[in-house]
Amino acid sequence: MLQYIISFIVLISIVVFVHEYGHYYFAKKYKVGVTDFSIGFGKELFGFNDKYGTRWKICAIPLGGYVKFFGDSNSASQPVSLTKIDKKYHSKLLTTKPLYQRSLIVSAGPFANFILAIFIFSIIFMTVGKDVTLPVISEVNKNSPAQTAGLKSNDQITFVDGKKIESINDVAYLISTSKNDIVKVEVIRNKQILSFNIKPEKKFVKDSFGNSIERKLIGIKISPLKDEVKRERMGPSKAIYLSVKEVWNTISMTLSYLGRMIAGNESANQLGGPIKIAQISGQVAEHGLVPFLSIMAYISISLGLINLFPIPLLDGGHLFFYLLEFIRGKPLSEQVQLYFYKFGMALLMTLMFFATYNDLKSIGLF
């Protein structure tokens, strides 16, 4: 349990620091005053003031962080009315900056998370290497969709839905994320190329860490071709390209899942919160540094993406306000923004409650 807690704190602190530093960097670039740079919420445990007057601090609740700008009424960057700020300090306010500067400052946090993920993946691909193990079917389950369609043992899977299989991990990923009811699987059998149309079935299975997850399955077991596990070290340019591709695929998969969930075609049971993150980070830490860094990259992508959702209090909510300001030619009134902030707070609390409930249910407390 202690290892889980320590792993979670280390992981979330790094991811949050990078996110908040993105905001901080562009705020300083455009001469916006920054009063607080906090990792965690609640009571301050320790901290210091830099020469610019920013309080850098670590707080007791390690579930996020914030950069508080000069003139903000709270850590969510809800601005105080200009009438309450002395005019000689207006130049330090975020609200007085041009629209493009405000947009860059707000969006820099999420994009810093994407850059962190690209950096981590690139380092892994250049040092340890990227998995390029080719898959072959070692077993076809009886009465499974794969057997019904005609797949057989020793078939080498080459394409799923027209996408080339470059790693053994691609098979489950492409089947699980397919948007089609029927998945097209191409194989090589006795030097012949064959194609099969298969309708996957949804089942709850255990992942490599023992967690129950729902996946689309066709009923096969795969193993490395000729029992050869291969990792290929990449040069910098290819590693960065593949890292960007991995980040994009993760974003696309997440958005696709959320879209299906909203449409009622996907269970919401996979949504997790801090307990789930702590559990997974502790489990991967037991498997070594590379798995831990990998999960850090995926958590970083998730944090960046979630913060871009157009929910008041999140970065995406501020960007939504800026979009409306661009369209209208003037910002929303303070009263309207206040209503939006209250709505955003209620929505975020509801989502957090639901995610925590899923976490507790997954570990058997409900």
Task: Give the H/E segment covering residue 175.
Answer: helix 169-176
Catalytic residue (choose from 20, 44, 166, 334): 20
CA distance 211 to 213: 6
CA distance 205 to 83: 58
DSSP 8-state code for residue 79: B
Is 325 a residue of the active site?
no
CA distance 172 to 192: 23
CA distance 294 to 11: 11
Structure tokens at 63: 């579930």
Q: What is the Cα 355 distance to its own chain's centre?
A: 15
Residue 329 neighbours by CB under 8 Å, 6+ apart: none
CB 29 within 8 A of CB 118: no
CA distance 231 to 249: 20
CA distance 227 to 77: 55
Closest CA to 222 of 194, 185, 249: 185
Structure tokens at 78: 């809800």
CA angle 354, 16, 323 (to 5 degrees): 75
Strands 130-131 and 135-140: unpaired
Please give the full DSSP string across 114-174, using - where no structure is assigned: HHHHHHHHHHHHHHT-EE-PPEEEEEE-TT-HHHHHT--TTPEEEEETTEE--STHHHHHH
Q: Which residues are catalytic?
A: 20
